[in-house]
Structure 1
Amino acid sequence: MTDTIQSTQQQPASTALKGIDISHYNGKITWPTLSNEISFVYCKASQGITFKDPMFKEYFGQLTNAGIIRGAYHFLTFQNAPADQQIANFLGNGINFSTPGTLPPVLDIEWQVPDSLNAYIIANRTICIQLIKDWLNGVEAKTGRTPMIYTNTNFWHDYLGNPSGFGNYPLWIASYQTKPPVLPPDWTAYTFWQNSDKGTFNGITGPVDTNLFNGNLADLKKLGLSL
Protein backbone atom coordinates (compact mmCIF):
# COMPACT_ATOMS: atom_id res chain seq x y z
CA MET A 1 0.00 0.00 0.00
CA THR A 2 1.15 3.54 -0.71
CA ASP A 3 0.93 5.61 2.44
CA THR A 4 -1.55 8.43 1.94
CA ILE A 5 -0.95 10.37 5.15
CA GLN A 6 2.18 11.84 6.61
CA SER A 7 3.49 10.98 10.02
CA THR A 8 3.42 13.71 12.64
CA GLN A 9 5.92 11.83 14.77
CA GLN A 10 9.36 13.09 15.64
CA GLN A 11 12.35 10.81 15.39
CA PRO A 12 12.71 9.12 18.80
CA ALA A 13 15.71 10.20 20.79
CA SER A 14 18.59 7.78 21.13
CA THR A 15 17.65 7.66 24.80
CA ALA A 16 14.06 6.53 24.09
CA LEU A 17 12.85 3.95 26.59
CA LYS A 18 13.08 0.46 25.12
CA GLY A 19 11.00 -2.60 25.84
CA ILE A 20 10.10 -5.98 24.41
CA ASP A 21 7.01 -8.08 23.81
CA ILE A 22 7.15 -11.82 24.28
CA SER A 23 5.27 -15.09 24.06
CA HIS A 24 6.05 -18.72 24.80
CA TYR A 25 8.18 -18.82 21.65
CA ASN A 26 10.84 -16.83 23.51
CA GLY A 27 11.48 -19.60 26.03
CA LYS A 28 13.23 -19.13 29.34
CA ILE A 29 14.35 -15.58 30.13
CA THR A 30 16.91 -14.38 32.69
CA TRP A 31 15.17 -11.27 33.96
CA PRO A 32 17.89 -9.90 36.30
CA THR A 33 20.22 -9.70 33.29
CA LEU A 34 17.62 -8.40 30.85
CA SER A 35 16.20 -5.79 33.23
CA ASN A 36 19.33 -3.67 32.81
CA GLU A 37 18.54 -3.20 29.12
CA ILE A 38 14.77 -2.65 29.03
CA SER A 39 12.14 -0.52 30.75
CA PHE A 40 8.95 -2.51 30.07
CA VAL A 41 7.62 -5.84 28.79
CA TYR A 42 4.33 -6.89 27.22
CA CYS A 43 3.44 -10.59 27.37
CA LYS A 44 1.01 -12.51 25.21
CA ALA A 45 -1.75 -13.75 27.49
CA SER A 46 -4.30 -15.29 25.14
CA GLN A 47 -5.69 -15.72 21.65
CA GLY A 48 -9.25 -16.29 20.50
CA ILE A 49 -11.66 -18.05 22.82
CA THR A 50 -9.54 -20.91 24.21
CA PHE A 51 -5.79 -20.42 23.79
CA LYS A 52 -3.83 -19.17 26.78
CA ASP A 53 -0.11 -18.68 26.33
CA PRO A 54 1.54 -21.46 28.36
CA MET A 55 4.33 -19.16 29.55
CA PHE A 56 2.21 -16.16 30.44
CA LYS A 57 1.71 -16.74 34.15
CA GLU A 58 5.37 -17.63 34.66
CA TYR A 59 6.56 -14.57 32.74
CA PHE A 60 4.11 -12.20 34.40
CA GLY A 61 4.91 -13.45 37.87
CA GLN A 62 8.64 -13.13 37.26
CA LEU A 63 8.21 -9.60 35.92
CA THR A 64 6.12 -8.62 38.93
CA ASN A 65 8.71 -10.02 41.33
CA ALA A 66 11.50 -8.24 39.45
CA GLY A 67 9.66 -4.92 39.61
CA ILE A 68 9.63 -4.50 35.82
CA ILE A 69 6.73 -2.54 34.33
CA ARG A 70 4.66 -5.10 32.44
CA GLY A 71 1.48 -5.63 30.49
CA ALA A 72 -0.63 -8.30 28.83
CA TYR A 73 -2.10 -8.55 25.36
CA HIS A 74 -4.79 -10.60 23.65
CA PHE A 75 -4.51 -11.67 19.99
CA LEU A 76 -7.91 -11.08 18.40
CA THR A 77 -9.54 -13.88 16.42
CA PHE A 78 -12.12 -12.51 13.99
CA GLN A 79 -14.08 -15.60 12.93
CA ASN A 80 -16.36 -17.73 15.14
CA ALA A 81 -15.05 -16.08 18.30
CA PRO A 82 -17.59 -13.85 20.09
CA ALA A 83 -16.17 -10.89 21.98
CA ASP A 84 -17.50 -12.00 25.36
CA GLN A 85 -15.78 -15.37 25.06
CA GLN A 86 -12.50 -13.77 24.00
CA ILE A 87 -12.73 -11.37 26.94
CA ALA A 88 -13.37 -14.26 29.32
CA ASN A 89 -10.36 -16.09 27.93
CA PHE A 90 -8.10 -13.06 28.34
CA LEU A 91 -9.25 -12.12 31.83
CA GLY A 92 -9.23 -15.78 32.84
CA ASN A 93 -5.49 -15.39 33.32
CA GLY A 94 -6.25 -13.61 36.59
CA ILE A 95 -4.51 -10.32 35.79
CA ASN A 96 -5.18 -7.49 38.23
CA PHE A 97 -4.89 -4.39 36.08
CA SER A 98 -5.04 -2.11 39.12
CA THR A 99 -1.76 -3.45 40.51
CA PRO A 100 1.06 -0.86 40.45
CA GLY A 101 3.46 -1.58 37.60
CA THR A 102 0.74 -2.92 35.29
CA LEU A 103 0.29 -1.37 31.85
CA PRO A 104 -3.12 -1.16 30.13
CA PRO A 105 -4.60 -4.26 28.48
CA VAL A 106 -3.87 -4.52 24.77
CA LEU A 107 -5.89 -5.87 21.86
CA ASP A 108 -3.61 -7.20 19.11
CA ILE A 109 -5.39 -6.55 15.78
CA GLU A 110 -3.51 -7.97 12.82
CA TRP A 111 -3.25 -10.62 10.12
CA GLN A 112 -4.71 -14.00 10.99
CA VAL A 113 -2.94 -17.34 10.67
CA PRO A 114 -3.33 -19.13 8.32
CA ASP A 115 -3.59 -16.39 5.72
CA SER A 116 -6.79 -17.88 4.29
CA LEU A 117 -8.65 -16.52 7.32
CA ASN A 118 -7.96 -12.93 6.31
CA ALA A 119 -10.48 -12.99 3.46
CA TYR A 120 -13.20 -13.25 6.12
CA ILE A 121 -12.25 -9.85 7.51
CA ILE A 122 -12.71 -8.05 4.20
CA ALA A 123 -15.95 -9.88 3.45
CA ASN A 124 -17.35 -9.15 6.93
CA ARG A 125 -15.74 -5.81 7.71
CA THR A 126 -18.68 -4.33 9.64
CA ILE A 127 -18.96 -7.40 11.86
CA CYS A 128 -15.21 -7.39 12.50
CA ILE A 129 -15.15 -3.71 13.44
CA GLN A 130 -18.02 -4.29 15.86
CA LEU A 131 -16.11 -7.22 17.37
CA ILE A 132 -13.19 -4.89 18.07
CA LYS A 133 -15.49 -2.32 19.70
CA ASP A 134 -17.19 -4.97 21.82
CA TRP A 135 -13.87 -6.33 23.10
CA LEU A 136 -12.53 -2.89 23.94
CA ASN A 137 -15.73 -1.79 25.67
CA GLY A 138 -16.05 -5.06 27.57
CA VAL A 139 -12.48 -5.12 28.83
CA GLU A 140 -12.64 -1.48 29.88
CA ALA A 141 -15.84 -2.13 31.81
CA LYS A 142 -14.35 -5.13 33.59
CA THR A 143 -10.88 -3.75 34.35
CA GLY A 144 -11.42 -0.01 34.73
CA ARG A 145 -8.52 0.58 32.31
CA THR A 146 -8.71 2.04 28.82
CA PRO A 147 -7.32 -0.67 26.53
CA MET A 148 -4.63 -0.03 23.93
CA ILE A 149 -4.81 -1.05 20.28
CA TYR A 150 -1.87 -2.82 18.65
CA THR A 151 -2.00 -2.79 14.88
CA ASN A 152 -0.20 -2.04 11.63
CA THR A 153 -1.19 0.88 9.39
CA ASN A 154 -1.43 -1.30 6.29
CA PHE A 155 -3.61 -3.88 8.02
CA TRP A 156 -5.88 -1.18 9.47
CA HIS A 157 -6.35 0.27 5.99
CA ASP A 158 -6.42 -2.79 3.75
CA TYR A 159 -8.55 -5.10 5.87
CA LEU A 160 -10.62 -2.81 8.09
CA GLY A 161 -10.91 0.21 5.80
CA ASN A 162 -9.52 2.80 8.24
CA PRO A 163 -12.55 2.78 10.56
CA SER A 164 -13.10 5.88 12.68
CA GLY A 165 -14.00 6.11 16.35
CA PHE A 166 -10.88 4.49 17.77
CA GLY A 167 -8.61 7.51 18.21
CA ASN A 168 -9.31 7.80 21.93
CA TYR A 169 -7.58 4.47 22.53
CA PRO A 170 -3.80 4.58 22.93
CA LEU A 171 -1.99 3.20 19.89
CA TRP A 172 0.79 0.64 19.74
CA ILE A 173 1.94 0.75 16.13
CA ALA A 174 3.91 -2.01 14.41
CA SER A 175 6.30 -0.62 11.80
CA TYR A 176 9.71 -2.19 11.24
CA GLN A 177 11.76 0.78 10.10
CA THR A 178 14.05 3.48 11.46
CA LYS A 179 12.05 6.52 10.39
CA PRO A 180 8.94 7.53 12.38
CA PRO A 181 5.93 5.40 11.38
CA VAL A 182 2.94 6.57 9.38
CA LEU A 183 -0.16 6.19 11.57
CA PRO A 184 -3.76 5.28 10.74
CA PRO A 185 -5.91 8.41 10.21
CA ASP A 186 -7.63 8.18 13.61
CA TRP A 187 -4.37 8.84 15.47
CA THR A 188 -1.85 11.68 15.58
CA ALA A 189 0.55 10.00 18.03
CA TYR A 190 1.56 6.54 19.15
CA THR A 191 2.20 5.35 22.70
CA PHE A 192 4.43 2.41 21.75
CA TRP A 193 6.21 1.73 18.48
CA GLN A 194 7.20 -1.87 17.70
CA ASN A 195 10.17 -1.05 15.51
CA SER A 196 11.82 -4.44 15.02
CA ASP A 197 11.35 -8.18 15.37
CA LYS A 198 15.07 -8.85 15.46
CA GLY A 199 16.18 -7.40 18.78
CA THR A 200 18.96 -9.09 20.73
CA PHE A 201 19.50 -8.79 24.47
CA ASN A 202 21.49 -10.47 27.18
CA GLY A 203 19.24 -12.81 29.11
CA ILE A 204 17.07 -13.93 26.20
CA THR A 205 17.91 -16.45 23.47
CA GLY A 206 17.23 -15.53 19.86
CA PRO A 207 15.54 -12.50 18.29
CA VAL A 208 12.74 -10.67 20.06
CA ASP A 209 10.30 -7.89 19.20
CA THR A 210 11.55 -4.49 20.34
CA ASN A 211 9.50 -1.41 21.15
CA LEU A 212 10.04 2.28 21.89
CA PHE A 213 7.92 4.29 24.31
CA ASN A 214 6.78 7.74 23.24
CA GLY A 215 7.50 9.55 26.50
CA ASN A 216 9.85 9.77 29.45
CA LEU A 217 10.22 7.50 32.46
CA ALA A 218 7.69 9.46 34.49
CA ASP A 219 5.16 9.05 31.68
CA LEU A 220 5.81 5.31 31.52
CA LYS A 221 5.43 4.92 35.26
CA LYS A 222 2.17 6.84 35.17
CA LEU A 223 0.85 4.61 32.39
CA GLY A 224 1.88 1.62 34.50
CA LEU A 225 0.23 2.99 37.65
CA SER A 226 3.64 3.25 39.30
CA LEU A 227 3.49 6.90 40.41
Structure 2
Amino acid sequence: MIQGIDVSHNQGAIDVAAVRAAGFRFCVAKATEGADYEDPAFRRTLAAIAALPTAAPRFYPGAYHFGRPDNRAGRSGGEDEAGNFSRVLVAAAKECGLSLASGFLEPALDFEKYCDNTSCGTADHSEWIDGFLTVLRAETGRQGMIYTGANVWRYQAGDTDRFASLPLWQASYSEQGSSPPRARRGSPANRARPPGPPRSGNGAAAASSPITAPSPGSSAPSTSIA
Protein backbone atom coordinates (compact mmCIF):
# COMPACT_ATOMS: atom_id res chain seq x y z
CA MET A 1 0.00 0.00 0.00
CA ILE A 2 1.11 3.55 -0.72
CA GLN A 3 -0.06 6.85 0.75
CA GLY A 4 -0.75 10.14 -0.97
CA ILE A 5 -2.74 13.39 -0.81
CA ASP A 6 -5.63 15.02 -2.66
CA VAL A 7 -5.57 18.74 -3.46
CA SER A 8 -7.26 21.57 -5.35
CA HIS A 9 -6.43 25.23 -5.91
CA ASN A 10 -7.67 25.92 -2.38
CA GLN A 11 -4.43 24.49 -1.02
CA GLY A 12 -2.35 26.88 -3.11
CA ALA A 13 0.89 25.80 -4.77
CA ILE A 14 1.83 22.25 -3.76
CA ASP A 15 5.49 21.45 -3.13
CA VAL A 16 5.31 17.92 -4.49
CA ALA A 17 9.01 17.35 -3.85
CA ALA A 18 8.41 17.98 -0.16
CA VAL A 19 5.32 15.78 -0.24
CA ARG A 20 7.38 12.94 -1.70
CA ALA A 21 10.18 13.54 0.79
CA ALA A 22 7.60 13.20 3.58
CA GLY A 23 6.90 9.64 2.45
CA PHE A 24 3.81 10.14 0.29
CA ARG A 25 3.73 8.50 -3.11
CA PHE A 26 0.97 10.19 -5.08
CA CYS A 27 -1.09 13.35 -5.45
CA VAL A 28 -4.66 13.38 -6.77
CA ALA A 29 -5.44 16.90 -8.02
CA LYS A 30 -8.81 18.40 -8.85
CA ALA A 31 -8.98 18.82 -12.62
CA THR A 32 -12.50 19.93 -13.42
CA GLU A 33 -16.00 20.62 -12.15
CA GLY A 34 -19.24 20.66 -14.07
CA ALA A 35 -19.29 20.90 -17.86
CA ASP A 36 -16.88 23.80 -18.38
CA TYR A 37 -14.72 24.53 -15.31
CA GLU A 38 -11.04 23.68 -14.98
CA ASP A 39 -9.28 24.01 -11.65
CA PRO A 40 -6.68 26.76 -12.15
CA ALA A 41 -4.01 24.83 -10.24
CA PHE A 42 -4.43 21.48 -11.98
CA ARG A 43 -1.93 21.81 -14.82
CA ARG A 44 0.61 23.45 -12.53
CA THR A 45 0.36 20.58 -10.06
CA LEU A 46 0.58 17.97 -12.80
CA ALA A 47 3.62 19.70 -14.31
CA ALA A 48 5.33 19.76 -10.91
CA ILE A 49 4.80 16.01 -10.53
CA ALA A 50 6.12 15.39 -14.05
CA ALA A 51 9.24 17.42 -13.22
CA LEU A 52 10.17 15.26 -10.23
CA PRO A 53 13.33 13.13 -10.61
CA THR A 54 12.50 9.69 -11.96
CA ALA A 55 14.69 7.93 -9.43
CA ALA A 56 12.93 5.82 -6.82
CA PRO A 57 10.70 6.25 -5.00
CA ARG A 58 8.32 6.98 -7.86
CA PHE A 59 5.60 9.59 -7.30
CA TYR A 60 2.30 9.03 -9.11
CA PRO A 61 -0.14 11.63 -10.48
CA GLY A 62 -3.91 11.40 -10.28
CA ALA A 63 -6.91 13.57 -11.12
CA TYR A 64 -10.55 13.95 -10.07
CA HIS A 65 -13.66 15.62 -11.44
CA PHE A 66 -16.23 17.17 -9.12
CA GLY A 67 -19.61 16.07 -10.51
CA ARG A 68 -22.55 18.47 -10.73
CA PRO A 69 -25.67 16.53 -11.75
CA ASP A 70 -27.61 19.34 -10.08
CA ASN A 71 -26.61 21.54 -13.04
CA ARG A 72 -27.90 19.08 -15.62
CA ALA A 73 -29.42 15.77 -14.66
CA GLY A 74 -29.77 12.71 -16.87
CA ARG A 75 -27.30 10.70 -18.90
CA SER A 76 -26.40 13.55 -21.25
CA GLY A 77 -25.41 15.72 -18.30
CA GLY A 78 -22.91 13.12 -17.13
CA GLU A 79 -21.62 12.70 -20.68
CA ASP A 80 -21.01 16.45 -21.02
CA GLU A 81 -19.10 16.62 -17.75
CA ALA A 82 -16.99 13.61 -18.65
CA GLY A 83 -16.19 15.32 -21.94
CA ASN A 84 -14.87 18.32 -20.03
CA PHE A 85 -12.84 16.15 -17.65
CA SER A 86 -11.43 13.99 -20.43
CA ARG A 87 -10.41 16.93 -22.62
CA VAL A 88 -8.59 18.67 -19.79
CA LEU A 89 -6.99 15.46 -18.51
CA VAL A 90 -5.74 14.29 -21.91
CA ALA A 91 -4.44 17.74 -22.85
CA ALA A 92 -2.72 18.33 -19.50
CA ALA A 93 -1.07 14.90 -19.51
CA LYS A 94 0.21 15.48 -23.03
CA GLU A 95 1.58 18.92 -22.12
CA CYS A 96 3.41 17.43 -19.15
CA GLY A 97 4.73 14.38 -20.98
CA LEU A 98 2.72 11.99 -18.82
CA SER A 99 0.97 8.81 -19.94
CA LEU A 100 -2.57 8.13 -18.78
CA ALA A 101 -2.05 4.47 -19.65
CA SER A 102 0.88 3.85 -17.32
CA GLY A 103 1.79 5.14 -13.87
CA PHE A 104 -1.33 7.33 -13.61
CA LEU A 105 -3.96 6.62 -10.95
CA GLU A 106 -7.49 5.84 -12.08
CA PRO A 107 -9.28 9.13 -12.88
CA ALA A 108 -11.89 9.74 -10.19
CA LEU A 109 -15.48 10.94 -10.28
CA ASP A 110 -16.14 12.90 -7.09
CA PHE A 111 -19.85 12.35 -6.45
CA GLU A 112 -20.72 14.11 -3.21
CA LYS A 113 -22.62 17.31 -3.97
CA TYR A 114 -25.69 16.45 -2.00
CA CYS A 115 -26.71 16.50 1.64
CA ASP A 116 -26.60 13.24 3.56
CA ASN A 117 -30.25 13.09 4.62
CA THR A 118 -33.68 13.45 3.02
CA SER A 119 -34.01 17.22 3.59
CA CYS A 120 -32.75 17.95 0.06
CA GLY A 121 -34.89 15.27 -1.53
CA THR A 122 -33.84 12.07 -3.23
CA ALA A 123 -32.89 11.23 -6.79
CA ASP A 124 -31.41 8.38 -8.78
CA HIS A 125 -28.47 9.77 -10.75
CA SER A 126 -27.14 6.36 -11.71
CA GLU A 127 -27.74 7.09 -15.41
CA TRP A 128 -25.81 10.34 -15.05
CA ILE A 129 -22.93 8.41 -13.47
CA ASP A 130 -23.05 5.73 -16.15
CA GLY A 131 -23.00 8.36 -18.89
CA PHE A 132 -19.98 9.99 -17.27
CA LEU A 133 -18.05 6.75 -16.96
CA THR A 134 -18.89 5.61 -20.49
CA VAL A 135 -17.45 8.79 -22.01
CA LEU A 136 -14.45 8.70 -19.68
CA ARG A 137 -13.59 5.18 -20.85
CA ALA A 138 -14.04 6.10 -24.50
CA GLU A 139 -11.92 9.25 -24.28
CA THR A 140 -9.13 8.14 -21.93
CA GLY A 141 -9.10 4.36 -22.04
CA ARG A 142 -9.43 4.26 -18.24
CA GLN A 143 -12.32 2.73 -16.31
CA GLY A 144 -12.31 5.40 -13.62
CA MET A 145 -13.14 5.16 -9.94
CA ILE A 146 -15.86 6.73 -7.80
CA TYR A 147 -15.42 8.89 -4.73
CA THR A 148 -18.61 9.06 -2.68
CA GLY A 149 -20.19 8.40 0.71
CA ALA A 150 -22.82 5.92 1.83
CA ASN A 151 -25.60 8.43 2.41
CA VAL A 152 -24.97 10.38 -0.79
CA TRP A 153 -25.04 7.09 -2.67
CA ARG A 154 -28.24 6.03 -0.93
CA TYR A 155 -30.16 9.28 -1.52
CA GLN A 156 -28.71 10.45 -4.82
CA ALA A 157 -27.70 7.30 -6.72
CA GLY A 158 -30.59 5.02 -5.79
CA ASP A 159 -28.24 2.85 -3.72
CA THR A 160 -27.45 1.08 -6.98
CA ASP A 161 -24.92 -1.72 -7.27
CA ARG A 162 -24.45 -1.36 -11.04
CA PHE A 163 -20.91 0.05 -10.59
CA ALA A 164 -19.74 -2.66 -8.21
CA SER A 165 -16.87 -3.63 -10.50
CA LEU A 166 -15.22 -0.21 -10.19
CA PRO A 167 -12.73 0.90 -7.53
CA LEU A 168 -14.25 2.99 -4.75
CA TRP A 169 -12.64 5.91 -2.96
CA GLN A 170 -14.93 6.15 0.05
CA ALA A 171 -15.79 9.41 1.75
CA SER A 172 -15.36 9.01 5.49
CA TYR A 173 -16.74 12.10 7.22
CA SER A 174 -15.92 12.03 10.89
CA GLU A 175 -19.31 13.44 11.81
CA GLN A 176 -21.12 10.91 9.65
CA GLY A 177 -19.39 7.61 10.31
CA SER A 178 -20.78 6.08 7.15
CA SER A 179 -20.11 2.61 5.83
CA PRO A 180 -19.22 1.97 2.19
CA PRO A 181 -22.07 2.24 -0.34
CA ARG A 182 -23.69 -1.07 -1.17
CA ALA A 183 -22.31 -0.76 -4.69
CA ARG A 184 -18.77 -1.18 -3.43
CA ARG A 185 -19.06 -2.94 -0.10
CA GLY A 186 -16.11 -5.25 0.24
CA SER A 187 -13.62 -2.98 -1.54
CA PRO A 188 -13.60 0.22 0.52
CA ALA A 189 -11.12 2.97 -0.30
CA ASN A 190 -11.71 5.42 2.50
CA ARG A 191 -10.60 9.02 2.69
CA ALA A 192 -10.20 10.31 6.23
CA ARG A 193 -11.00 13.94 6.92
CA PRO A 194 -8.65 16.06 9.01
CA PRO A 195 -10.19 18.12 11.83
CA GLY A 196 -11.99 21.19 10.55
CA PRO A 197 -14.84 22.06 8.19
CA PRO A 198 -16.06 19.64 5.56
CA ARG A 199 -15.69 20.24 1.85
CA SER A 200 -16.70 23.67 0.69
CA GLY A 201 -19.44 24.22 -1.86
CA ASN A 202 -17.13 24.19 -4.86
CA GLY A 203 -15.84 20.76 -3.94
CA ALA A 204 -12.38 21.73 -2.75
CA ALA A 205 -11.11 19.84 0.25
CA ALA A 206 -10.84 21.87 3.42
CA ALA A 207 -7.34 20.48 3.89
CA SER A 208 -5.07 18.03 2.14
CA SER A 209 -5.83 14.62 3.60
CA PRO A 210 -3.68 11.49 3.45
CA ILE A 211 -5.14 8.57 1.55
CA THR A 212 -3.84 5.12 0.79
CA ALA A 213 -4.14 3.05 -2.35
CA PRO A 214 -2.49 0.08 -4.03
CA SER A 215 0.35 0.58 -6.44
CA PRO A 216 -0.78 1.81 -9.89
CA GLY A 217 -1.30 -1.01 -12.34
CA SER A 218 -2.53 -3.46 -9.70
CA SER A 219 -6.00 -4.95 -9.62
CA ALA A 220 -9.07 -3.05 -8.38
CA PRO A 221 -8.15 -1.62 -4.99
CA SER A 222 -9.22 -2.91 -1.64
CA THR A 223 -7.81 0.03 0.24
CA SER A 224 -8.18 2.01 3.41
CA ILE A 225 -7.22 5.35 4.81
CA ALA A 226 -4.42 5.76 7.28
The bucket for the TM-score relative to the shorter chain is: 0.7 to 0.9
Q: What code does the residue aligned with 1:22 have?
A: V
Q: Does 1:154 align with 2:151?
A: yes
Distance 1:112 1:186 in 2: 18
Give the unaligned 5+ runs of structure 1: 1-15, 200-205
2:83 to 50, 65, 88: 88
Q: Deviations over 1:175-226 (max 9, x none)?
A: 145xx97211122333632112359xxxxxx94122122x4xxxx13249xx
SS at match of 2:193: strand
The one-letter code sitting in structure 2 at the alignment partner of 1:18 is Q
Q: Distance in 2 between matches of 1:99 and 1:141?
A: 13
Name the structure 1 match of 2:48. 62
Match of residue 17, structure 2, among 32, 37, 43:
32
Amino acid at match of 2:47: G
Q: Does the aligned pair in 2 maintain the 1:23–1:56 contact within 8 Å?
A: yes
Matches within 5 A, 1:44-59: 44-59=30-45
Tell me which amino acid in the other structure corresponds to 1:83.
G
Aligned residues: 189
Correspondence 1:160-175 to 2 at 5 A: 160-175=157-172
| 2:112 aligned with 1:107 | no
TM-score normalised by length of structure 1: 0.73
User: Could you say if the C-alpha distance between residues 76 and 207 of structure 1 is closer, same or farther in structure 2, counting changes exceeding 3 Å?
Assistant: closer
Unaligned runs of 5+ in 2: 94-98, 197-205, 220-226
Deviation at 1:98, TM superposition (A): 2.9
Shift of 1:99: 4.6
Cα gap change, 1:154/1:172 in structure 2, threshold over 3 Å: closer, same or farther? same
Distance 1:135 1:150 in 2: 13
What is the deviation of 1:144?
Answer: 1.2
Which of 191, 194, 216 lines up with 1:194 in the alignment? 191
- Of the candidates 87, 97, 100, which is equivalent to residue 98 of structure 1? 100
**Structure 1 segment 133-148 matched on structure 2, within 5 A:** 133-148=130-145
Report the TM-score when normalising by structure 2: 0.74
Whether contact under 8 Å (2:114, 2:156) holds in the other structure is: no
**Shift in CA distance, 24/138, structure 1 to aligned 2, threshold 3 Å:** same
Deviations 1:10-64 (A, max 9, x none): xxxxxx5221100000001222211122111110000001111000000011112
